[in-house]
Structure 1
Amino acid sequence: MAAGWLLSILVVNMPILFAAAGPLEPPSKPECHIPCCDSCGVDIHCSWNHRFDPQVPTNYSLHWETLHSKEGRVDTGTSLSGLIDREHFFMNSELRVWAQAVSKHGSAKSQVIIFNTGDLVKPSSPVISWSPQDPLEISWSSICQDPHLSLGSCDVRFRPEVGKLWHEEEVGAQVIYEFSGLIPAGLVYEFQVRCSCATGMMSDWSATHRISYEKAPTGQMDVWRDCGMPATNIDCALIWKKLPLSQARGHILGYEVTLFSKHSTTAFVNISVAEPRGRLVCDELQCYLNSSLKSVSSASISAYNAHGATVPSYLTIAVPGEMRSEHPIDVRMNMANLTVSWELPSQLPEATSVKEFVVQYKEAGRLLGKGFDWIRVNKTCTTVTLTGRFEKYKPYQVSLFAVTSNQESHHISSVMEYSAHGIPAKVRSFKVTSIAATHATLFWEPALLSMQNGLILHYEIGVHGQTVYKVSTSPQDENKTFELPNLSPDEEYEVWIKAVTKAGPGANVTISFITKQQEHLELKSKSHVFAFLLLLCLPVIICCLLVLFSFHKGTSKACLCINENVPDPYNSTIFEMMKYQVNEPLAWICVPIHEPHPIMSMLEVVEIQRPVWERKCLPEDQTRPAVASEGYTRRTHRYGRDEYSKMVDSEEEKDVSGVAGRDDGSSSSEEEPDTSGYEQHFMPTAAEILDG
């Protein structure tokens, strides 16, 4: 196993071993010159390049041969440069030069170069100076300007500081260059110069020199307003694009903003770029005023630098009206481009005053001033393309406006579009709001706009997995209702709903419900229930009526409270004794009803002296008069009253008094009722006793 592992290592490293043991790669052709700095030298300086293995030591040598076949060499060790002393060559004569490399793997020789030694003079790089005057110009100095030399030709190249490509020009034997119209003001540019003497080589490029050329900014600001979504939101943000460098012509120090309110007041705001104090928010291309515009009707803005300011740009904030095109705008969108096309509305507001159209887009869910851009186009244009980075599955509201010459904007049309469509999210709050026998009303809320993942084409509603309805989504962001038809009464249904985009349908949301019965069946069912309850309660009602009737018949004449002259039950010993004898609910005020013809053996009566209108059954605290006792002086243990009037008659005495009365009286009680005290006030009549 160890042998196999070692073999695998050898196989892997074999190409490296063979490569290292291969022939040595030759060096590049030497480059030689005679430098002229403060003064021109006499020795020839040569240098070359070589690709070698740093693990293998390599030595180099510089070789030359004169016109007379005289060879020379100098060993340079591991250095890639060497010198040919003046004593080994003649000036203005031919010289052949090459380099050679030697290592343990062998030796290699570069290509041979042939040159005239008089052409090897190379001046040092020029030194640049400039003046910030108008027009802008630069100047330089060269060693070739020395008396013993003559200046040959110079080259100038320049580029913006942020650029990569150089713009190069040959200026001849000059030491000054004027940038008349070549460099816009406000940009930082980089410059380099190189020169040659009358004979010899071109110098290296000079050190990079940077200059900034400023003037007062020109043009006007491109100002607009971001009113969020929808486009007629009650609040807006004043937003503008930064001046291009060609218009800024220098470093923009700040902005002057004037706000005109609806109440005819004016507010002036000077915002410094260096110290915005939270009032200004900028990115690479745009800035917006971090202030509410609810009470602002219009605004103006200008940018300024150290040399001046732009002409103010005006914008009307309030949208005076809304106008719809017969043909909505057509939008095509991907993750890099947004192309908008439209047809000119048949009725433009003051068509002669329309100056331009504005196409804007706003990413849904972003704050004011964020995810927003616009472009202005000529009023004759009907198509425009905006570039940017549009996120997939994110909704963008694209709007078209017409702008008049007085900077009033009129909204024409808006659509929602996506750079890429995904599977939509579930709908929200799916429920049944009303249920009938043959139909039901469904309600749901669309998913949040930022979570729809694409343009909702329609909604699909399924019943029992069989019938599927397609419901329109217009308008996109409003709650939806749908009446589910052709249902059967008193049946359970399972209903699902899902949203559909270009990418396909989303997940289902399911609910269940039971339909109601038909109206006549419901009434019939209610009548059956009522009849059943009536039959169930009828015997109970009849029994209660019979009990009440019998009770009323047996007690109507026995209750003493129907008489105006009422015995006092609180002081009566008879009633006190009856309480222990009869266990009846009304025994404390009624004569027992089980005796058909009761025989009164003892009677206690008290006359209550009250007005006629008060002679009724009163509460017990008002029916306790003081009574006198006669023939029976026992004090009741409950009330302790001695005043009680009492009369005791036996049945025989009642008969005797009855005979005496008939003998003495000239007529019967039926003819002339006795109006004396006891019979009139306390004793019941014979007719009442017989009726009882």
Structure 2
Amino acid sequence: APEQPQNLSCIQKGEQGTVACTWERGRDTHLYTEYTLQLSGPKNLTWQKQCKDTYCDYLDFGINLTPESPESNFTAKVTAVNSLGSSSSLPSTFTFLDIVRPLPPWDIRIKFQKASVSRCTLYWRDEGLVLLNRLRYRPSNSRLWNMVNVTKAKGRHDLLDLKPFTEYEFQISSKLHLYKGSWSDWSESLRAQTPEEEPTGMLDVWYMKMHIDYSRQQISLFWKNLSVSEARGKILHYQVTLQELTGGKAMTQNITGHTSWTTVIPRTGNWAVAVSAANSKGSSLPTRINIMNLCEAGLLAPRQVSANSEGMDNILVTWQPPRKDPSAVQEYVVEWRELHPGGDTQVPLNWLRSPPYNVSALISENIKSYICYEIRVYALSGDQGGCSSILGNSKHKAPLSGPHINAITEEKGSILISWNSIPVQEQMGCLLHYRIYWKERDSNSQPQLCEIPYRVSQNSHPINSLQPRVTYVLWMTALTAAGESSHGNEREFCLQGEDTAALGQAPDRLAHA
């Protein structure tokens, strides 16, 4: 005989749907089996459906239960029959409310009154008998849902905790009864972006001063973008106000899309700036700073500044508090930019702020391997500042080339060697030293050398140990902490003595590495 069918369960999808039942057939007897599904209702009503498929485990009665008597009981039973006998499932008894699973809500939409994220209403349509809804929503870039259960919502609900200028995904599910029945499937997703609100938070502003001449100085202001949660919309422009405090004269400049601003002001007077960010709804609170000489107070200069590589594209900067009472320090600012021998002011500036109890900072933003960075640590106290600087890199190797000697001149029995800097992309980190080599032409003896510390601005050096009327070959190399470069170009020079000058114009010879 066939095994007894198990776990009979029935469902009607939607108020206008039909009753369908499923069951588990049990072990296969390998005999032809017929299944009969029977439904009994009030007033001795009976429906029956047959399935002549041995592997049958689903039948749809094709009838619709209506809500006239939502508490009326219905009983379903399935019977399996083969040539050896029959077996019936346990009866499954249910009401209309037990088995009707509502269709998912549809026509979902959202409205923001007065374009405000704080006055947001979600609307949808449901089947008529729905009593409960559950709503779930999340920012489109999040995996976590916010869940809300509502009763008798009648197709609308106010949401109060949405963030401005954020795309959300919304879904809704429905149920007919508090305890009975099952939830509908989730609706199709609605995606909508919330309106902007005026920015919150304040810009992080930093600046550089550069001497132009006896009466003028250049001020370059820099600021960081607000975070998405602070901007609360698309930033349309930044407003910069520059003011001379004693005279009260103000100059305002609107900037679109840029996060820096440069102007020229007199070297006299006390100057202050205020910078704010604006979107379509308003402006952030302005960040106000007084322009001062950031390195003027020597007693505030941080001590023993060091910069060491810390993994891939990170540099750990450490320092000791200044000699002046360390408690006077209100904050440290660590600033870094790519080192360019010409002092290019267009090179992007990076900085971070550190509380006064910190004596180290890990810098990682815009750090590239094999690039040397000029790093400054500022200690700020009221309207005073002190600074110390150091060069650092996250990764280094020996330079790819040596300096190019461009001229050798004689001056009172010694010579002055001038050279061109190694291109930045060939330095491969921070240069520590230059070496100048020389030996007599056609000599097999070891060359003599002079090692000089690297300075950004230096491009010449005297040598006074050459013998008159002897032709020498000279060349240069550069060193990082990882090693020495190959030779630069060779130049020949013969020191004539004090009466004559030879300008070292023998043709260049390529050196052998």
TM tier relative to shorter chain: 0.5 to 0.7
The residue number in structure 1 matching 2:264 is 293
Cα distance, 1:372 vs structure 2: 2.3
The residue number in structure 1 matching 2:223 is 240
The residue number in structure 2 matching 1:207 is 189
The residue number in structure 1 matching 2:457 is 477
Cα distance, 1:451 vs structure 2: 4.6
The residue number in structure 1 matching 2:144 is 166
Opposite residue 143 of structure 2, the aligned amino acid is: L
**1:243 alignment partner, SS class:** coil
Cα distance, 1:295 vs structure 2: 3.8
**1:221 alignment partner, SS class:** coil
Cα distance, 1:125 vs structure 2: 2.2
CA contact (8 A) 1:340 1:383 kept: yes
Unaligned residue ranges in structure 1 (runs of 5+) = 1-31, 47-62, 74-81, 97-114, 272-278, 523-692
Distance across 1 between alignment mates of 2:145 and 2:222: 36
Distance across 2 between alignment mates of 1:64 and 1:173: 45
The residue number in structure 1 matching 2:405 is 429
C-alpha offsets along residues 629-687 of structure 1, whole Å, 9 cap, x if unaligned? xxxxxxxxxxxxxxxxxxxxxxxxxxxxxxxxxxxxxxxxxxxxxxxxxxxxxxxxxxx
Opposite residue 293 of structure 1, the aligned amino acid is: V
The residue number in structure 2 matching 1:511 is 491
User: CA, structure 1 residues 417+91, in 2 after alignment: closer, same or farther (shift >3 Å)?
Assistant: farther
The residue number in structure 2 matching 1:454 is 429
Cα distance, 1:442 vs structure 2: 3.8
Cα distance, 1:334 vs structure 2: 5.8
C-alpha offsets along residues 586-625 of structure 1, whole Å, 9 cap, x if unaligned? xxxxxxxxxxxxxxxxxxxxxxxxxxxxxxxxxxxxxxxx
User: CA, structure 1 residues 451+72, in 2 after alignment: closer, same or farther (shift >3 Å)?
Assistant: same
CA contact (8 A) 1:442 1:484 kept: no
User: CA, structure 1 residues 370+445, in 2 after alignment: closer, same or farther (shift >3 Å)?
Assistant: closer
Distance across 2 between alignment mates of 1:130 and 1:413: 56
Q: What is the correspondence of 1:632-643 to structure 2 with a 5 Å cutoff? A: none
The residue number in structure 2 matching 1:313 is 287
Opposite residue 266 of structure 1, the aligned amino acid is: K
**2:401 alignment partner, SS class:** coil
CA contact (8 A) 2:302 2:386 kept: no
Cα distance, 1:498 vs structure 2: 0.9
The residue number in structure 2 matching 1:384 is 361
User: CA, structure 1 residues 321+124, in 2 after alignment: closer, same or farther (shift >3 Å)?
Assistant: closer
Cα distance, 1:381 vs structure 2: 1.5
The residue number in structure 2 matching 1:157 is 137
CA contact (8 A) 1:196 1:203 kept: no
Cα distance, 1:412 vs structure 2: 0.7
Distance across 1 between alignment mates of 2:483 and 2:264: 42
Q: What is the correspondence of 1:7-406 to structure 2 with a 5 Å cutoff? A: 34-36=12-14, 39-42=15-18, 65-67=35-37, 70-71=50-51, 84=60, 86=62, 93=76, 119=99, 121-125=101-105, 127-132=108-113, 135-136=118-119, 138-141=121-124, 143=126, 146=128, 149-152=129-132, 154-159=134-139, 161=140, 163-171=141-149, 173=151, 175=153, 179-180=159-160, 182-198=161-177, 199-226=181-208, 234-261=217-244, 264=247, 266-269=249-252, 271=254, 279-282=255-258, 287-289=259-261, 291-295=262-266, 297-305=271-279, 307-319=281-293, 321-322=295-296, 323=298, 324-332=301-309, 336-347=313-324, 354-365=329-340, 368=345, 371-405=348-382
Counting aligned pairs with the same residue, the percent is 19
Q: What is the correspondence of 1:581-592 to structure 2 with a 5 Å cutoff? A: none
CA contact (8 A) 1:217 1:248 kept: yes
From the CA coordinates, give the structure whose radius of gyration is larger: 1
CA contact (8 A) 2:35 2:50 kept: yes
CA contact (8 A) 2:134 2:150 kept: yes
**2:175 alignment partner, SS class:** strand
User: CA, structure 1 residues 473+196, in 2 after alignment: closer, same or farther (shift >3 Å)?
Assistant: farther
CA contact (8 A) 1:392 1:420 kept: yes
Distance across 1 between alignment mates of 2:34 and 2:224: 65
**2:330 alignment partner, SS class:** strand
Cα distance, 1:516 vs structure 2: 5.3
CA contact (8 A) 1:158 1:190 kept: yes
| Cα RMSD for the two superposed structures | 4.6
User: CA, structure 1 residues 481+251, in 2 after alignment: closer, same or farther (shift >3 Å)?
Assistant: closer
**1:327 alignment partner, SS class:** strand
User: CA, structure 1 residues 197+128, in 2 after alignment: closer, same or farther (shift >3 Å)?
Assistant: farther
User: CA, structure 1 residues 70+158, in 2 after alignment: closer, same or farther (shift >3 Å)?
Assistant: same
CA contact (8 A) 2:236 2:256 kept: no
The residue number in structure 2 matching 1:500 is 479
* Structure with more relative contact order (C-alpha pairs < 8 Å, separation 6 or more): 2
CA contact (8 A) 1:124 1:142 kept: no
Cα distance, 1:466 vs structure 2: 0.9
CA contact (8 A) 2:211 2:217 kept: no
User: CA, structure 1 residues 384+119, in 2 after alignment: closer, same or farther (shift >3 Å)?
Assistant: farther
C-alpha offsets along residues 322-352 of structure 1, whole Å, 9 cap, x if unaligned? 334441243436654343221111127xx66
Opposite residue 357 of structure 1, the aligned amino acid is: Y
Opposite residue 499 of structure 1, the aligned amino acid is: A
CA contact (8 A) 2:130 2:174 kept: no
Structure with the bigger percentage of helix: 1
Distance across 2 between alignment mates of 1:369 and 1:511: 35
Cα distance, 1:265 vs structure 2: 5.8
C-alpha offsets along residues 415-461 of structure 1, whole Å, 9 cap, x if unaligned? 22233324243313354333788x75544343244653321122233
TM-score normalised by the chain length of structure 2: 0.67
C-alpha offsets along residues 14-47 of structure 1, whole Å, 9 cap, x if unaligned? xxxxxxxxxxxxxxxxxx97432xx42226599x
Distance across 2 between alignment mates of 1:327 and 1:64: 91
CA contact (8 A) 2:105 2:173 kept: yes
Distance across 2 between alignment mates of 1:64 and 1:87: 21
Distance across 1 between alignment mates of 2:324 and 2:371: 33
User: CA, structure 1 residues 43+155, in 2 after alignment: closer, same or farther (shift >3 Å)?
Assistant: same
Cα distance, 1:222 vs structure 2: 1.5
Distance across 1 between alignment mates of 2:34 and 2:403: 87
Distance across 1 between alignment mates of 2:450 and 2:462: 10
Opposite residue 191 of structure 1, the aligned amino acid is: F
Opposite residue 260 of structure 2, the aligned amino acid is: Y
CA contact (8 A) 2:315 2:392 kept: no
Cα distance, 1:313 vs structure 2: 1.5
Distance across 1 between alignment mates of 2:266 and 2:222: 17
Opposite residue 218 of structure 1, the aligned amino acid is: T
CA contact (8 A) 2:405 2:491 kept: no
User: CA, structure 1 residues 321+342, in 2 after alignment: closer, same or farther (shift >3 Å)?
Assistant: closer
Distance across 2 between alignment mates of 1:377 and 1:64: 80
Q: Which moved more, 1:428-437 or 1:208-217?
A: 428-437
Distance across 1 between alignment mates of 2:152 and 2:478: 75
CA contact (8 A) 2:165 2:233 kept: yes
TM-score normalised by the chain length of structure 1: 0.51
Structure with the bigger percentage of strand: 2
User: CA, structure 1 residues 190+398, in 2 after alignment: closer, same or farther (shift >3 Å)?
Assistant: farther
User: CA, structure 1 residues 242+164, in 2 after alignment: closer, same or farther (shift >3 Å)?
Assistant: same
CA contact (8 A) 1:258 1:266 kept: no
The residue number in structure 2 matching 1:689 is none
Distance across 1 between alignment mates of 2:372 and 2:152: 61
C-alpha offsets along residues 266-298 of structure 1, whole Å, 9 cap, x if unaligned? 344363xxxxxxx4343xxxx223x42344832
Opposite residue 202 of structure 2, the aligned amino acid is: Q
Distance across 1 between alignment mates of 2:20 and 2:396: 70
